[in-house]
Amino acid sequence: MKIYIITEGGSDIGFGHLTRMYAVYQGFKVRGITPKFIVNGDDFVEDIIKEAECEIFDWIDNKARLFDLIKGADIAIIDSYLADKSLYEEISNIVKLPVYYDDNNRLEYPRGVVINGNIHAKDLNYPERGDIVYLLGMEYLPLRMEFWDLPEKEIRVNMESIMITFGGDDVKNMTPKVLNFLVEEYPDLKKYVIIGRGFRNIDEIEKYVDNKTFLVYHPDGKKIRDIMLDSDIAISAGGQTLYELARVGVPTIAVIVAENQIGNVKKFEELGLVENVGWWNEPLSNIKSKILKLSSYKNRKEKSDLLRERISMISEELFSEKLLKKFNSLLNLDPLSNFRKI
């Protein structure tokens, strides 16, 4: 089976799509299928996708090269906020099965498969279409291999450590602000600070380091997992990291740093899974009130148990197995037909 993964990522636009697609890649690879990447990105791309075969170029401006690579492929998986509808339509015409990862019902997609593994996916009112199969909900959420099988997280009686994570680029410069606040208000807490590849504020962050602060530069999935297991609570942006934190069972304070995170964070909050402090420019006192709430062992234990209960569906059957079963059934159809029979 010939599969291409088409996505984007870099220090200017973040690494969320790329990290998600690397999880998809890992899921297929353990089942004997090795997709090839086509990435609109920079030199940091290879650090994230490691051993995967990859073409790195601006496929939006160089469509001819993109189409030449993927023409006749069994499956093309696209995860992008930059591609417009016309590009999706052209891709759908030259591959057997086009697959689109979506977060917020961004486009009216052409024929194919739309996957949204987010917690709020079924609330987005996707239009019913005979030529589209929708795979919605957390059973279709790709997580990196390091989060498939986990030990049970220890919930300490007293809160000792906190994790700070604002993605691969910290576009809103939240890390130094939050670290400074924690150093002043909670000097006895161990603070794990995640420094992404796209951070341009490292000098500012380093100004606030105390003897309880541990700066973690460019961690891989295993390192991130181990820090989560040792963290009593986390302060996180509202993107894909929320799902890894939930999978581990880390009580989390969520900060919205982008429009596309609103639905995600609000659904987590509605289900009682995170403490939502709102937008990135809200007063830091909002974070303080949530830390106070989570300082209670009872509250942290209840939150952690609820997280693992609600997110456990991700690991019951690996998403890649579900996807392959669905893809194989669709590929048995005439590739240019609609999917009314499914």
HSE value, Cβ hemisphere, 13 Å, CA-based, for 113: 25
Place of tokens 């009682």: 272
**What are the pLDDT digits (tens) for 272-307?**
999 999 999 999 999 999 999 999 999 999 999 999
Q: Is the pLDDT of residue 313 over 90?
A: no
Prediction pTM value: 0.91
pLDDT attached to residue 212: 98
Q: Which residues does 139 contact at the CB level (< 8 Å), separation at least 6?
A: 117, 313, 314, 317, 319, 322
Q: Is 315 exposed, middle or buried (0-12, 13-18, 19+ CB in 10 A)?
A: middle
> Using one digit for the tens of pLDDT, what is the confidence trace for 6-49?
999 987 788 889 999 999 999 999 889 999 999 999 888 888 88
- Report the percent of the chain where pLDDT is more than 90: 78
Q: Is the Cα torsion angle 175, 176, 178, 179 positive or negative in sign?
A: positive
Closest CA to 250 of 275, 271, 267, 213: 275
Report the C-alpha gap between 240 and 209 in whole angstroms.
27
In this chain, the answer to whether the domains covering 3-143+318-331 and 149-314 adopt an identical fold is yes
Per CATH, which fold does 3-143+318-331 belong to? Rossmann fold (3.40.50)
Query: pLDDT value at position 168?
Result: 87
Paired strand residues for 116? 136
Report residue 323's pLDDT band, with 50, 70 and 90 as the boundaries.
confident
Under CATH, what is the fold of the domain 149-314? Rossmann fold (3.40.50)
Nearest to 171 by CA among 281, 59, 288: 281
Query: Phi and psi dihedrals of 233, rounded to 5?
Result: -145, 170
Residue 335 pLDDT greater than 70, yes or no: no
In the structure encoding, which two tokens stand for residue 272, read together? 């009682």
- Which residues, at least 6 apart from 328, have a Cβ–Cβ distance to it below 8 Å? none
Average pLDDT score over the chain = 92
Q: Using N-to-C axis directions, what is the helix angle for 285-294 and 174-185, rounded to 10°?
A: 60
9, 38 contact by CB (below 8 A): no
Q: Where are the domains of the chain?
A: 3-143+318-331, 149-314
Q: What local confidence, expressed as pLDDT, does residue 12 receive?
A: 78
